[in-house]
Amino acid sequence: MSSTQSHPTCPDDGFPLVELNGKYVCSAEHADARIGGRRIVTTTIRNGYLYLEFDNQTSIPLTCPCCGGQLHLRQISAEQLGQLLAGRTVEGFRHGQWVSHDQSGAKHPIFAIQFSGEEDVNTRTMQVHLDSVRNISET
């Protein structure tokens, strides 16, 4: 394992690829086809993960951008975050890189979802781990 190992990205838009059923697919295209432009009708917490449930019976769990686990970097609880996001629509996606703050300096690509709202665009953009994209599912 090397911290400089590069992750495969989509030649069209630079988004990281995710492996699904043994095939690499573009994370942005995968997410856009399922939740792009969709409205969050409700949010639920299952096994400690906050799930956004959309108006097309699709859901996505929010995972921590650093480790893919439950959200633990935010000052607010999963319940509060769910209340904050309910009713919003997905405006778009961004990609970036997570860089560890420990001495390893490990890096990995992350995915971000931009939600509708009045706040500054960075405030309503949520970074998640690529595991969130892998776990988009129909409910």
Pick from 3, 7, 8, 13: which binds Zn ion (CB under 5 A)? Answer: 13
Segment near Zn ion (CB under 5 A); pick from 24-32, 80-88, 89-97, 109-117: 24-32
Q: What is the DSSP letter of 6?
A: P
Q: d(Cα 84, Cα 66) in Å, to the nearest integer?
A: 22
Residue 48 as a binder of Zn ion (CB under 5 A): the answer is no
Question: Taking the alpha carbons of 58, 55, 57, 63 in that order, is the dihedral positive or negative?
Answer: positive
Q: What is the DSSP letter of 103?
A: T
- Residue 61: φ, ψ to 5°: -85, 140
Rounded to 5°, angle at Cα 133 from 48 and 6: 115
Segment near Zn ion (CB under 5 A); pick from 7-15, 37-45, 85-93, 105-113: 7-15
- Contact string 64-103 vs Zn ion (x = CB under 5 A): x-xx------------------------------------
CB of 121 to Zn ion, least distance (A): 21
Residue 12 as a binder of Zn ion (CB under 5 A): the answer is yes
Order of strands across the sheet that contains 40-46: 40-46, 49-54, 58-62, 137-138
Segment near Zn ion (CB under 5 A); pick from 1-9, 22-30, 38-46, 118-126: 22-30
List residues near Zn ion by CB under 5 A: 10, 12-13, 26, 29, 64, 66-67
